[in-house]
A = this chain, B = another copy of it.
Amino acid sequence: MGHVTGDGTVGKALAVLDQVAAFGRPVRFSELLAQSDFPKPTLYRFVQTLTNQQMLAYDPDRQTYAPGVRLVRLAHAAWEQSTLAPVARPHVDALSKAVGETVHLAQLDNAQVLYIDKRNAANPVQMYSQAGKVGPAYCTGVGKVMLAFLDDAATEKVIAQQSFHVFTEYTLADADALRHELDEIRAHGYGFDREEHEPGIICIAMPILSEGGRVLGALSVTSTTNRTNLAGLEAYEPVLRETAAKIARDAQNWSFPDYETKEATGI
């Protein structure tokens, strides 16, 4: 009767997995139970099953559960197969070198922004700890440009799922403000983050669209108000647009020819 999860047993089990991941730290069974809708034996069995399946890892010393190693292995496959990330990598590299600022590559995940790749101008890549991170869609450059180029039904569905927390004085605080912004973005073909998420942080963002106009992802160049301003970022628009086009083209023609690459790792 009226469940949040849907998708039967599997959906429920995955909800438990999310719950553990959301804790951000190893968690005890009782902690999960306290904030769960499931009765004790049901939750217990889910946790057991997930642990058996290595989706959760149980630490017997501390009696805690944490997301398991199987996820890391699966995510490796996800990242390598996601048509965007591996195809985009050389282009993101080139863009990063060209602009000398932080570059992000993102996709839409549910109604959130998921960062798939990142180049930090200053300190060399530290990807795993950044890629995989999620952020709000309504107040980030990449989020807004992706929203702007979905079809109307999809856009509204995602808008309905935004929480509209006000981070700064520039944050778009409601659905109407966001809709208006999306119109602007559609008109220009790209968008900005005007310190909407964090004070002093600005960016220019470009959608990555397939030939058919489907949203594949988005690119952004980020900087700070100390170093530049929106007009300064706008100078990157041509190279951003070109990079997005190249990524879209390559993603289109991608057909996994180099399967079975015996990449030399050595332990």
Contacts and interface: CB of A to CB of B under 8 A. Distances in A.
Interface of A: 6-11, 13-14, 17-18, 21-22, 24-26, 46, 49-50, 52-55, 57, 59, 61, 66-83, 86, 102, 104, 107, 109-110, 114, 116-117, 124-135, 140-142, 193, 197-198, 201, 203, 205, 210, 212, 214, 220, 222, 224, 256, 259, 264-267
Contacts of A68: 78
The DSSP consensus for interface residues of chain A is mixed
Contacts of A77: 21-22, 24, 67, 71, 132
B69 A71 contact: no
Contacts of A17: 74
Sorted from nearest, which 6 A-B pairs have the closest CB atoms? A76-B132, A75-B75, A201-B266, A67-B78, A124-B124, A21-B77
B267 A49 contact: no
25 contacts: A7-B52, A9-B10, A10-B10, A11-B52, A18-B74, A21-B73, A21-B81, A24-B77, A24-B81, A24-B256, A24-B259, A25-B81, A61-B212, A67-B81, A67-B82, A68-B78, A79-B129, A79-B132, A102-B266, A117-B128, A124-B124, A193-B267, A203-B267, A222-B266, A224-B266
